[in-house]
Amino acid sequence: GLPVFGAFMGIIADQAVAYHERERKGMLPVHDTGHLLILNCPTPQRVRDIAEEFRADPQHQGRAIYLVTDKLDQNPLSEAEIGFVKGSPIDEEVLNQANIAQAATVIVLSPDYGAPESDSQVAAAITLAEGLNPGIRTIAECLDERHRYLFTSAKTDAVIFPLRMANNAIVQVSQDPGVGQYLDRVLANTEGESLYSTLVPAELRTQGTYLEVARALLDTGVVLQAVMNEGEMTMELGKREVRAGDRLIYHAAERLDEHQLAALIGEA
């Protein structure tokens, strides 16, 4: 019996090794739901930093994260940090392998910060992702502001211009002492207070302007920064009346859900 048992355990061990090898090389289908997909890998460290920041938010600590790229032959990080799917982000079969139909969010990074065609590749990936899952939240990285309209037809939820943001931050920090420390604090999920957004709930019966709401929130340590609706943003709080469906952007120690927001400003 011992030789048979030993052979059986050897088969199991071989299968486990083969499974791990396929996982490391991005050959396995994704079965998670509500996960985050990061398409393209400009550098492994960039992907690691994004994954760490994403999970630093308590609301997303348990979310699975997968990298999809055809530029690497195996997972650049450990499987405990991030999953891996090898293939082109503009290949329908590859995105289906990543279970995009049940993913919650997709972040499309520029594949090459030195390549002029990177923005068109990002736009193509966003268009495919939206087509396969119309309800997915899409965030695109765009290097050249002149290419902004590449993302209009794709109905991208957010387009980020990293070079412009970095340039603006450098200039502001050079001109105004303290701005650098403030940006580090407010933009990092790992530093306590951060920027959040919450929808104004339909059941809210508050009358008046957002200036009154801002005063009420300030007493609780929440600093209202702006109000958005259908892609339009305003910081002129005294001219905007409160209405359901608006999205409030604020600085606070933690994210408020709709019920918490209603309780805080219901009598504003």
What is the pLDDT, as a whole number, of residue 110? Answer: 95
- pLDDT of residue 40 exceeding 90, the answer is yes
Rounded mean pLDDT of 48-67? 90
> Residue 135: pLDDT band by 50, 70, 90 thresholds?
very high
Report yes or no: 15 and 8 within 8 Å, Cβ to Cβ: no
Rounded mean pLDDT of 195-204? 82
Rounded mean pLDDT of 21-36? 91
Instruction: Give me the chain's average pLDDT, please.
Output: 85
CA distance 210 to 50: 33
What is the pLDDT, as a whole number, of residue 15? Answer: 57
Pick the residue with more confidence: 66 or 207? 66
> Residue 42: pLDDT band by 50, 70, 90 thresholds?
very high
What is the pLDDT, as a whole number, of residue 84? Answer: 95
> Residue 154: pLDDT band by 50, 70, 90 thresholds?
low
What is the pLDDT, as a whole number, of residue 182? Answer: 76
CA distance 3 to 48: 45
pTM: 0.80
- pLDDT of residue 233 exceeding 80, the answer is yes
Report yes or no: 111 and 121 within 8 Å, Cβ to Cβ: yes
What is the pLDDT, as a whole number, of residue 268? Answer: 44
